Amino acid sequence: AQSVTQLDSHVSVSEGTPVLLRCNYSSSYSPSLFWYVQHPNKGLQLLLKYTSAATLVKGINGFEAEFKKSETSFHLTKPSAHMSDAAEYFCVVMSNSGTYKYIFGTGTRLKVLA
Amino acid sequence: SAVISQKPSRDICQRGTSLTIQCQVDSQVTMMFWYRQQPGQSLTLIATANQGSEATYESGFVIDKFPISRPNLTFSTLTVSNMSPEDSSIYLCSVLRADTNTEAFFGQGTRLTVV
């Protein structure tokens, strides 16, 4: 069975410092992986996706993630945090059973300090 | 991207009643899903809405409690039946487009409070 584990439930960074949100996945096959962001009282927005092309994936708002098969990781990074980045972030793996179901991680709440 | 209209955006309901949530997409999509997000929690898949046939439910969710319809490729409804306070959650519609088949789009969600 496929799954994702987000290693930190809460992360706090100062504005202007790097962001690292960690995600490990479990999958028997080459997975499709995603990061979504959810701002308070807003819908989910796709940040980036990995679908077996380039291992370094660039997304919106300066975010990027690197797929590392040897470490079964897909960590989300950003060089410099902005106040507007404060939100809940979800790492997601898509089921490879042909059902296209998404399996969500438990989420990481990012707090950005002024 | 697909534009999803989900209604209502929020509601406060009495226990024992039912609420039907609508999801309308601006284009034909391959897959439609319904998720639940309990307070402070992640998203859990309730079911896959199948066009013209019964939905496919995940473990822990049953048709009598969460009946789902999908009469065509752009519309689906989720009903939360015989509600209790434990049903207070955000319910989200999600769609996958036929031309991408991997990237899912989400509605804004319906925030349900049962009193």
**What is the pLDDT, as a whole number, of residue B98?**
62
Mean pLDDT of successive 10-residue segments in chain B (115 residues)? Answer: 91 98 90 94 94 93 97 95 97 84 87 97
* Residue A48 host element (H or E): strand A44-50
| Helix ranges, A1-114 (H) | none
Nearest-by-Cβ selection for A94 from B41, B102, B105: B102
**Cβ pair A49:B43 closer than 8 A:** no
Nearest-by-Cβ selection for B109 from A34, A43, A101: A43
**Interface residue B103 vs chain A (CB under 8 A):** yes
Structure letter (DSSP) for residue A73 = E
What is d(CA B61, CA B32) in angstroms, rounded to the nearest whole number? Answer: 16
What pLDDT digit, counting tens, does each position of A12-57 carry?
Answer: 999 999 999 999 999 878 889 999 999 987 889 999 999 877 899 9
Structure letter (DSSP) for residue A30 = P
**What is the pLDDT, as a whole number, of residue B52?**
86
Within 8 A of B93 by CB-CB distance, chain A residues are none
Residue percentage of chain A with pLDDT more than 70: 100
Say what the alpha-carbon torsion angle A61, A67, A73, A78 is, to the nearest 10 degrees. Answer: -20
Q: Which of A104, A106, A108, A109 best tests the B interface by mutation, with the highest count of B CBs <10 A?
A: A104
**What is the pLDDT, as a whole number, of residue B101?**
63
Q: Quick one: three-class SS letters along chain B?
A: CCCEEEECCEEEECCCCCEEEEEEECCCEEEEEEEEECCCCCEEEEEEECCCCCCEECCCCCCCCCCEEEEECCEEEEEECCCCHHHCEEEEEEEEECCCCCCEEECCCEEEEEC
